[in-house]
Structure 1
Amino acid sequence: MPRDNKTSLIQKIARQASLTFTDLSQSNIGDNKDLITLLTEVRAADLKIAPRKPNGSKSNHKPPVTYMHICETQSFSMGVFLLDSGATIPLHDHPGMNGMLKVLYGKVRIRCFDKLGKSPDQAESQTQFVPPLQPFQKDSIWRAVLRATVWYSEDSGPCLLTPQRENLHQIDAVEGPAAFLDILAPPYDPEDGRDCHYYKVLQTVPDAVRKAEQQEEESWLLEIPQPDDFWCGGEPYPGPKVSF
Structure 2
Amino acid sequence: MKRDNNIGGVSIEMEQGGDRVGHVNKVIGYGKRVIVKKRKPYHHHHRRIHNKKTVPNKVPKALQELFVSCRETFKGPGGTVPSPQDVQKLCHILDSMKPEDVGLRSDLQFFKPENIVKENQRVTCTTIYSCENFSLCLFFLPAKGVIPLHNHPEMTVFSKLLLGQMHIKSYDWVDSEVSHNLLHQPSQFRLARLKANNVFTAPCDTSVLYPQSGGNIHEFTAITPCAVLDVLGPPYSKDDGRDCSFYRDHPYTAFPNGESGKVKEENDSYGWLEEIEMPENSQMDGIEYLGPPIIETAL
1:224 equivalent in alignment to 2:266? no
TM, length-normalised to structure 1: 0.83
Residue pairs, 1:58-207, within 5 angstroms: 58-60=118-120, 62-63=121-122, 65-119=123-177, 122=180, 125-127=183-185, 138-165=186-213, 166-174=215-223, 176-205=224-253, 206=256
**1:56 alignment partner in structure 2:** 116
Could you report, residue by residue, the CA deviation over 1:53-89 in whole angstroms, capped at 9, with x for unpaired residues?
35524244x42x0001100122101110000001111
Decide whether the 8 Å contact of 1:198 with 1:225 is kept in 2: yes
CA shift in 2, pair 1:126/1:87, >3 Å: farther
Query: Aligned pair count?
Result: 231
In percent, how many aligned pairs have the same letter?
28
CA shift in 2, pair 1:237/1:26, >3 Å: closer
1:238 equivalent in alignment to 2:290? yes
Match of 2:62, as an amino acid? L
Could you report, residue by residue, the CA deviation over 1:199-224 in whole angstroms, capped at 9, with x for unpaired residues?
00123245855432473611111000
Residue number among 1, 4, 21 corresponding to 2:74 in the alignment:
21
Moved more, 156-165 or 116-125: 116-125
- Could you list the runs of 5+ residues in structure 1 that have no partner in the other structure? 128-137
Moved more, 229-238 or 165-174: 229-238
TM, length-normalised to structure 2: 0.69
- Could you list the runs of 5+ residues in structure 2 that have no partner in the other structure? 1-14, 19-56
CA shift in 2, pair 1:123/1:140, >3 Å: farther
Higher relative contact order (CA 8 A, sep 6+): 1
**1:133 alignment partner in structure 2:** none
Decide whether the 8 Å contact of 1:66 with 1:82 is kept in 2: yes
CA shift in 2, pair 1:30/1:220, >3 Å: farther
CA RMSD of aligned residues (A): 2.8
**1:44 alignment partner in structure 2:** 99
Decide whether the 8 Å contact of 1:49 with 1:238 is kept in 2: no
Decide whether the 8 Å contact of 2:246 with 2:277 is kept in 1: yes
